[in-house]
Structures are given as structure tokens and as C-alpha cells.
Amino acid sequence: MNTTKIILITGASSGIGEATARHLAAQGHQVFLGARRTDRLEKLAEEIRSTGGLVEYRTLDVTNFEDTQAFADFALEKFGRIDVLINNAGVMPLSPLHELKINEWNQMIDVNIRGVLHGIAAVLPDMQSRKSGHIINISSIGGFQVWPTCAVYSGTKFAVRAISEGLRLENKDVRVTIISPGVVESELAHTITDPGTRSMIEDFRAVALKPEAIARGITYAIDQPADVDVNEIIIRPTSGAQ
């Protein structure tokens, strides 16, 4: 077991974020959780503490940089350092481009791209000054391939991969990992408002992974020695075509 690490997780109120919080806390790490739904964070924190885990939480809107900076600053004040940031918050309101759901496009850009950049900006100065740290960005298989209805979503996930690679190349002392899940049981599809797309995705998700599978992949990257940077992991269902 590695030394306990201070690990920040965005989008921690459900899905991959929630599963990762539980898994890392069970491994003995101190997790600091952020999301907009504070009631869910409170319940999750209570459950983690009931099993002996170390957890704190704070409301967080990753689309707001000041809020994200306050989230990181709170962690620094309480724990003295940030070892790992997991940029997990994301939305996926898929639709064909001709539906012109511009507000949903902007929401994906704000959460999936700006949210990642805000997280990086909030923790990178401390990590650089300590010459130590790990930033894990959750992308998607949508960052490798585009399907009908996925143009904007895939665009945001291609961007996450590009940003992550640039960050890695610029920082010799900060580890950077991209986690790209295939279809996973989560609330992402709940944001789809286009009826045809919602029906298609329900069929696509018939072989979805449990979010705990992604949590184990994230933990693998974190638990490597300091001189080992797992740059990218793709995790798909064995029986899935995509």
C-alpha cells in the first residue's frame, strides 16, 4: 500500500466520481469531493466515514473558475498539499447537429473543457512548486472516434486528450493521466433531451461497465511509483462493440 495521498475528485456525487471516491478511500487515501449536489456528497461522505474512510466535501461548480480555485484552496488549507486531482465532472447531452441545441453544446464546452482547464489552473501552481503531483483527466472513447449525435461531445473529449498531452509535455515533475472509458453505467445519458438519441443510447448501454471498473483503472495509475507516469488508459466492456 502506497502512502496516503490527498486526492481531489470533481463530479463526485454519482457514477465514476462516486465509485472512485469509495474505492480510493477504501485504499486508505484521503478524498476531497466536489460537486453541485451537496446533499449527495453529504450522504456519500457519511457512508465512507462509516467504514473508516477519510473524506471531506465541498460544493463545486467546475464551470466557475473562482469556485474551482476556492475548492483547491480549501484543500490546501486543510491538508497542506494536493497530491492528485481527478477532473471527472462531465455532461453528455447528445443530439444531431441539425437539432441546433446550442445551449447544450455550450454546456458541454463549459463543463467538459473549461471545467478541466479550471481544475488544472487551480492545482498546477502548487504541484509545480512542490515538484510533485498527478492530474487525471477523464476523457472517453468519444475522444478517439465520432458517431452520429456525438459531434460536440466527441469534440470536447478530443480536446481533453489534447490538453492533457500538452500538460504532460510541459511538466516533467507532474504526472498526467488520461482515462478514456467506454460505455459505463452513469447518469450521463440522463442529460440527453433528443428522443431519438436517447433511445439509441439506451440500446448502446446494454453492455455498460460498472463505474467501479473505471475506479480500479484510476487507482492503478495513482498507485504507480513517482517515476512512472501511466499516460493513458482505455477501458471498454469486453462484450462491447465500441
Number of Cβ within 10 Å of residue 107's Cβ equals: 17
194 residue type, one letter: D
Out of 153, 179, 180, 222, the active site residue is 153
Nearest in space to 13 (alpha carbons), one of 32, 31, 36: 36
Measured distance CA(47)–CA(195) in Å, rounded: 36
Please list the alpha-helical segments (H only) found in the chain: 15-26, 38-50, 65-79, 102-108, 115-130, 151-170, 195-204, 211-222
**Dihedral sign computed on CA atoms, order 236, 18, 132, 224:** negative
Residue 94: count other Cβ atoms within 10 Å of its Cβ: 27
SS3 148: coil
- Report the C-alpha gap between 90 and 75 in whole angstroms: 22
Q: Is 220 a catalytic residue?
A: no
Active site residues: 153
